[in-house]
């Protein structure tokens, strides 16, 4: 096979057996890889109604055909499983260098089944694959586990691991690789923890085959040029990283503040990308074969390391009313150490603060710690307590929906399908609101980044307050993103590249005959397959909605004053453009047309 | 004369200048303001007046806040 290695590992954690299986080439091409192929395997092998933290759930690590191949950003992999947070299909994406290493070792997919009786980790060194004891690693943080495994294994080994949060089954636990790259969302770390699987260490010496080297050279040359010449990928992201968005969203009056009670943060400049660059940035970092290098390597108390992304600056900053950048950087570090999703963790702390503000959480639950908007004193301690499930941190480790529901006010959780909404107030960005409401994994911005046309003006400028036509934009962005996530490249390339470019990439690497249209159709297929998983899991379209605050409480002041998300205007049109029934269910005809 | 607050972001900050309030004649356009402060339109990817995206020919009034961003992105 070209692009793919053609091999999957199937690991039964209970029986301690490891089998190598052939990758089904037809399925791989139909569902591309990563998110698409992983969802197909889940549909075929797992009952969607299974308890996500039971042995019956499976944990899939799925690379794409571009992963480990010589294309720009070709190093990403997906964790696909059922989410313990949302109950939906979960596919959580990560960069770094680990995914490419798995391809070098000769595998496209790892399927973990059942549950080990004791802590284990998987070691892969090309054909030598074994389950080893992780007794001495259990309870250790991400950086400690990573260093211990790298010392023990062959030089150049890459480590993927959970931290204490995953071991303790926090529903917002992430899986980390290369110490600070995260498959962050949907609680995938808890699924790994539920299986007593601590880590996967991998070293490979091979390389996947490419269909047409000459064509690939031409494609790469053209696409690298587009990436370099594009203002966002060639200049904005390398210089300031994602953090530069803080000031833009704030100027627009769409930077959620104090758990979305406000939409502008008076002290945004203090936590901005500009401030980060001026005071803490040491250098840029890049994932495998990435010409963009948006990663931030910063000064911190522990020395130096991976710095916060925009979402993290927002979650621990504006959303908690905090302008102390140093504390936000430290909280980001502790999320990585604990193995927690920074968006859900910061957002859950913000929800806890509002619960305290409104008298639901009492002083005697705090163990003397501060829990106030604008007070950064204890945000690191709350983060650690969520990882270790200590005190109130035990309730917070369940995520903001279950936390607020426990106090009888789930409407204070800023979530869709129980997944915390990221850093863009959709009341002032209508298409983004539709995208949040309809995303198969819940409140997520990177399943269809409408910020690009509605805020950044790419590929063209849309009126952020208008609803007309947004259903089509959302569908196209969701479908294209599904393909990018399945190929194993970075979504950020889409600032510079379009569907035809991704078709060219696939054709050169795999030997497919994709066009822009067939790429979008493949994305539509993946989207519908995810939706079918959710429907079978009992997550129906009544959950395609937003928190009450975003639908009914207009933004109180600033440039977006007076706006709510007009979801009822957009949702019926979205279902129609998807070819679904008015109830939001894919029709037989639609599924048939996609070969589902 | 009208007073306009100009906010600079990312690479458009020169010598660390984050914002300044300048006086211009009535009815001046953003385009003319930019030429007076020596910033080229091609370097401004996102132009906001009072938090709303506008075009370069937008005429300004007293007290307006102009925010200038180069091409930036993220997620």
Judge: B71–A445 Cβ closer than 8 Å, yes or no: no
Same domain, A176 and A36: yes
Sheet of strand A120-125, all strands in order from the earlier edge strand to the far edge: A128-133, A120-125, A197-203, A158-161, A175-177, A181-183
Rounded Cα gap, residues A55 and A115, in angstroms: 5
Residues of B in contact with A244 (CB under 8 A): 9-10, 72-74
Residue B74 lies in a domain: no
CA–CA min distance A227, chain B (Å)? 13
Rounded Cα gap, residues A414 and A259, in angstroms: 7
Number of Cβ pairs < 8 A linking chain A and chain B: 91
Residue B11 lies in a domain: yes
Same domain, A18 and A70: yes
Same domain, A396 and A475: no
Residues of A in contact with B18 (CB under 8 A): 269
Q: Which of A590, A459, A479 is nearest to A526 (CA)?
A: A479
User: What is the full DSSP assignment across A156-221?
Assistant: T-EEEE--HHHHTT-TTB-EEETTTEEE-GGGHHHHHHHTTEEEEEEE-------S-HHHHHHHHH
Residues of A in contact with B10 (CB under 8 A): 236, 239-240, 244, 247, 273-274
Residue A26's domain is classified under what CATH number? 3.60.9.10
Same domain, A182 and A279: no
The rounded mean pLDDT for chain A is: 97
Residue-wise pLDDT for A224-273, tens only, equals 999 999 999 999 999 999 999 999 999 999 999 999 999 999 999 999 99
Query: What is the chain B residue with the closest CA to A461?
Result: B53
Q: What residues 93-122 of chain A have any CB closer than 8 A to a CB of chain B?
A: none
Judge: A235–B70 Cβ closer than 8 Å, yes or no: yes
For residue A470, with 0-12 CB atoms within 10 Å meaning exposed, 13-18 middle and 19 or more buried, which class applies? Answer: buried
Same domain, A471 and A524: yes
Best residue in A185, A235, A453, A496 to probe B by mutation, most B CBs within 10 Å? Answer: A235
Judge: B72–A452 Cβ closer than 8 Å, yes or no: no
Residue A440 lies in a domain: yes
Give the pLDDT confidence score for residue B74 in this predicted structure. Answer: 80
A319 within 8 A of A256, measured Cβ to Cβ: yes
Give the domain range for residue A538.
Answer: 426-593
CA–CA min distance B33, chain A (Å)? 19
CA–CA min distance A561, chain B (Å)? 11
The residues near A289 (Cβ < 8 Å, ≥ 6 apart) are A70, A71, A72, A73, A74, A75, A100
Give the pLDDT confidence score for residue A355 in this predicted structure. Answer: 98
Residue A224 lies in a domain: no
CA–CA min distance A390, chain B (Å)? 31
The residues near A86 (Cβ < 8 Å, ≥ 6 apart) are A186, A187, A417, A418, A419, A441, A442, A539
pLDDT class of A400 with cuts at 50, 70, 90: very high
Give percent above pLDDT 70 in chain A: 100
The total of structural domains in chain A comes to 3
Residue-wise pLDDT for A159-176, tens only, equals 999 999 999 999 999 999
Judge: B73–A495 Cβ closer than 8 Å, yes or no: yes
Q: For the residues A420-424, what does the mean pLDDT come to?
A: 98
Best residue in A228, A231, A491 to probe B by mutation, most B CBs within 10 Å? Answer: A231
Query: What is the chain B residue with the closest CA to A241?
Result: B74
CA–CA min distance A131, chain B (Å)? 36
Give the pLDDT confidence score for residue B73 in this predicted structure. Answer: 84
Domain boundary, last residue among A175, A203, A231: A203
Judge: A253–B51 Cβ closer than 8 Å, yes or no: yes
Residue A214 lies in a domain: no
Judge: B73–A252 Cβ closer than 8 Å, yes or no: no
Judge: B74–A310 Cβ closer than 8 Å, yes or no: yes
Residue B25 lies in a domain: yes
Residue B16 lies in a domain: yes
Residue-wise pLDDT for A335-348, tens only, equals 999 999 999 999 99
Residue A236 lies in a domain: no
The residues near A311 (Cβ < 8 Å, ≥ 6 apart) are A242, A342, A343, A422, A423, A445, B75
The total of structural domains in chain B comes to 1
Give the pair of three-digit tokens for residue A544.
């395609």
The yes-or-no verdict on residue A543 having pLDDT over 90 is: yes
Q: What is the ipTM of this complex?
A: 0.97
Give the pair of three-digit tokens for residue B24.
């211009």
Same domain, A451 and A375: no
Same domain, A102 and A168: yes
Chain B touched by A472 (CB under 8 Å) = no
Q: Which of A155, A105, A146 is nearest to A129 (CA)?
A: A105
Chain B touched by A274 (CB under 8 Å) = yes
The yes-or-no verdict on residue B75 having pLDDT over 80 is: no
Judge: A245–B72 Cβ closer than 8 Å, yes or no: yes
The dihedral sign for the CA sequence A461, A309, A338, A256: negative
Same domain, A185 and A255: no
Judge: A248–B9 Cβ closer than 8 Å, yes or no: yes
Residue B29's domain is classified under what CATH number? 3.10.20.30
pLDDT class of A319 with cuts at 50, 70, 90: very high
Residue B75 lies in a domain: no
Give the pLDDT confidence score for residue B66 in this predicted structure. Answer: 98
Residue-wise pLDDT for A64-83, tens only, equals 999 999 999 999 999 999 99
Chain A touched by B42 (CB under 8 Å) = no
Residue A397's domain is classified under what CATH number? 1.10.569.10
Same domain, A503 and A403: no
pLDDT class of A359 with cuts at 50, 70, 90: very high
Judge: A269–B46 Cβ closer than 8 Å, yes or no: no
Same domain, A196 and A274: no
Same domain, A432 and A405: no
Best residue in A247, A425, A459 to probe B by mutation, most B CBs within 10 Å? Answer: A247
Give the pLDDT confidence score for residue B34 in this predicted structure. Answer: 98
Q: For the residues A382-395, what does the mean pLDDT come to?
A: 98
Domain boundary, last residue among A397, A420, A443: A420
Residue-wise pLDDT for A8-37, tens only, equals 999 999 999 999 999 999 999 999 999 999
Residue A440's domain is classified under what CATH number? 1.10.599.10
Residue-wise pLDDT for A544-584, tens only, equals 999 999 999 999 999 999 999 999 999 999 999 999 999 99
Domain boundary, last residue among A203, A233, A250: A203
pLDDT class of B72 with cuts at 50, 70, 90: confident
Rounded Cα gap, residues A171 and A169, in angstroms: 6
Strand, helix or coil for residue A584:
coil
pLDDT class of A301 with cuts at 50, 70, 90: confident
Judge: B73–A310 Cβ closer than 8 Å, yes or no: no
Rounded Cα gap, residues A308 and A294, in angstroms: 11
Query: What is the chain A residue with the closest CA to B68?
Result: A248
Residues of B in contact with A423 (CB under 8 A): none
Residue-wise pLDDT for B8-64, tens only, equals 999 999 999 999 999 999 999 999 999 999 999 999 999 999 999 999 999 999 999
Rounded Cα gap, residues A107 and A103, in angstroms: 5
Q: Which of A249, A228, A223, A217 is nearest to A293 (CA)?
A: A228
- The residue behind tokens 């009450």 is A548
Give the domain range for residue B23.
Answer: 2-69
Give percent above pLDDT 90 in chain A: 99
Same domain, A192 and A109: yes
Judge: B72–A558 Cβ closer than 8 Å, yes or no: no
φ/ψ of A90, rounded to 5, equals -120, 130
Angle at A330 between CA A325 and CA A331, to 5 degrees: 95
């Amino acid at each position: 096979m070209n692009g793919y290695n053609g091999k999957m590992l199937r690991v039964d954690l209970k029986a301690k057996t490891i089998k190598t299986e052939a990758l089904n080439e037809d399925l791989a091409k139909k569902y591309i890889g990563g998110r698409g192929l992983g969802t197909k395997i889940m549909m075929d092998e797992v009952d969607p109604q299974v308890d996500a933290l039971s042995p019956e759930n499976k944990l899939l690590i799925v690379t794409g055909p571009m992963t480990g191949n010589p294309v720009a950003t070709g190093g990403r992999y997906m964790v696909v499983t059922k989410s313990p947070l949302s109950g939906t299909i979960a596919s959580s994406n990560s960069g770094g260098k680990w995914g490419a290493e798995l391809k070098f070792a000769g595998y496209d997919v790892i399927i973990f089944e059942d549950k080990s009786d004791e802590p284990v980790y998987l070691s892969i060194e090309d054909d030598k694959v074994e389950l080893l004891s992780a007794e001495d690693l259990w309870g250790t943080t991400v950086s400690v586990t990573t260093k211990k495994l790298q010392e023990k294994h062959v030089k150049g080994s890459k480590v993927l691991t959970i931290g204490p949060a995953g071991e303790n089954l926090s529903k917002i636990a992430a899986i980390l690789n290369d110490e600070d790259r995260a498959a962050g969302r949907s609680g995938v770390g808890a699924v790994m923890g539920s299986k007593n699987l601590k880590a996967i260490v991998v070293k490979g010496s091979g390389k996947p085959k490419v269909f047409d080297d000459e064509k690939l050279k031409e494609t790469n040359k053209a696409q690298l040029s587009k990436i370099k010449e594009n203002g966002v990928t060639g200049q904005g992201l390398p210089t300031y990283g994602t953090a530069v968005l803080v000031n833009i969203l704030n100027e627009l009056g769409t930077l959620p503040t104090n758990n979305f009670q406000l939409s502008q943060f008076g002290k945004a400049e203090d936590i901005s990308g500009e401030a980060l660059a001026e005071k803490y940035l040491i250098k840029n970092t890049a994932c495998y074969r990435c010409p963009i290098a948006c990663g931030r390597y910063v000064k911190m108390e522990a020395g130096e390391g991976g710095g916060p992304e925009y979402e993290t600056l927002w979650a621990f900053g504006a959303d908690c009313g905090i302008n102390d950048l140093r504390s936000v950087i430290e909280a980001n570090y502790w999320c990585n150490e604990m193995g927690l999703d920074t968006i859900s963790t910061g957002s859950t702390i913000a929800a806890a603060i509002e619960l305290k503000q409104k008298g639901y959480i009492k002083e005697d639950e705090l163990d003397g710690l501060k829990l106030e908007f604008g007070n950064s004193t204890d945000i690191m301690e709350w983060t650690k307590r969520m990882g270790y499930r200590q005190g109130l941190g035990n309730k917070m480790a369940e995520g903001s929906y279950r936390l607020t529901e426990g106090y009888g006010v789930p409407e204070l959780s800023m979530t869709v399908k129980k997944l915390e909404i990221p850093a863009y107030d959709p009341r002032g960005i209508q298409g983004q609101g539709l995208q949040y409401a309809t995303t198969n994994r819940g409140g997520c911005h990177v399943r269809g980044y409408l910020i690009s046309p509605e805020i950044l003006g790419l590929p063209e400028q849309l009126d952020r307050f208008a609803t007309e036509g947004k259903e089509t934009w959302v569908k196209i962005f969701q479908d294209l993103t599904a393909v990018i996530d399945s190929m194993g490249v970075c979504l950020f390339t889409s600032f510079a590249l379009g569907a035809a470019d991704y078709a060219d990439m696939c054709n050169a690497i795999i030997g497919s005959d994709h066009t822009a249209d067939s790429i979008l159709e493949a994305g539509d297929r993946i989207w519908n397959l995810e939706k079918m998983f959710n429907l079978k899991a009992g997550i129906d379209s009544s959950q395609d909605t937003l928190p009450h605050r975003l639908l009914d409480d207009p933004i109180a002041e600033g440039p977006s004053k007076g706006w709510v998300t007009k979801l009822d205007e957009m949702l019926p049109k979205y279902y129609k453009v998807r070819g679904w029934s008015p109830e939001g269910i894919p029709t037989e005809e639609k599924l048939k047309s996609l070969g589902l | 004369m009208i007073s306009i607050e100009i906010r600079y972001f990312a690479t458009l900050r020169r010598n660390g200048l984050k914002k300044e309030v300048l006086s211009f004649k009535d009815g001046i356009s953003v385009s003319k303001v930019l030429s007076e402060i020596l910033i080229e339109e091609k370097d401004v990817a996102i132009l906001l007046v009072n938090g709303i995206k506008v075009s370069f020919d937008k005429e300004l009034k007293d007290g307006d806040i102009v925010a200038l961003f180069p091409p930036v992105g993220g997620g």
